[in-house]
Amino acid sequence: MADSHASAHHDDHDHGIAHTASVKVLLGTWGALMVLTVITVLATKVDFGPSLNLAIAMAIAAVKATLVILFFMHLFYDKLFHTVLVIGGLCAAALFVGFALMDSGQYQDSIRWDLDRAVQTK
């Protein structure tokens, strides 16, 4: 298996990794990331309210992360199964963080913090 693997990649460059994305695509992705960074900065200049500002910033960050995964990390050229794995991992993380924060947000109002007393008793 190791032999066949080695022969399949005999035309790779010295680091043994094939470039599946063209320079044009890589530069285009880099350009898109730069533009999105500028949009992120500009979006902070407009006051949409704290929730909407955060949502816009997170949405732009999600688009940027997707571009990185698709083109810089080659997922776009990879097997569909690997996309399923990545999406599955992201869903697991979203589920964990989403549910924990949802629940935490629900019961925060019922907590009565008394930090002064806590410090005294410690």
Which runs of E-coded beta strand occur in 30-80?
none
Using the minimum distance from each CB to another protein, give the nearer residue, 16 or 107.
Answer: 107
**CB atoms inside a 10 Å sphere around CB 67:** 18
Note whether 89 binds another protein by CB under 8 A. yes
How near is the Cβ of 75 to another protein at its closest, in Å? 17
CA–centroid distance for 21 within its chain: 20
Judged by CB under 8 A, the residue of 30, 48, 77, 96 near another protein is 96
Report which DSSP code applies to 110: G
Q: DSSP label at 69?
A: I
42 makes contact with another protein (CB under 8 A): no
**In whole angstroms, how close is the CB of 34 to another protein at the nearest point?**
32
Dihedrals φ, ψ of 17, to 5°?
-115, 125
Quick one: 42 or 102, whose CB is closer to another protein? Answer: 102
Smallest separation, CB 105 to another protein (Å): 8
Whole-angstrom distance, CA of residue 26 vs CA of residue 60: 19
Task: Decide if residue 107 touches another protein (CB under 8 A).
Answer: yes
Residue 65 and residue 96 in contact, taking contact as beta carbons nearer than 8 Å = no
The residues of the shown chain that bind another protein, judged by CB under 8 A, are: 88-89, 92, 95-96, 99-100, 102-104, 106-107, 113, 115, 118-119, 121-122
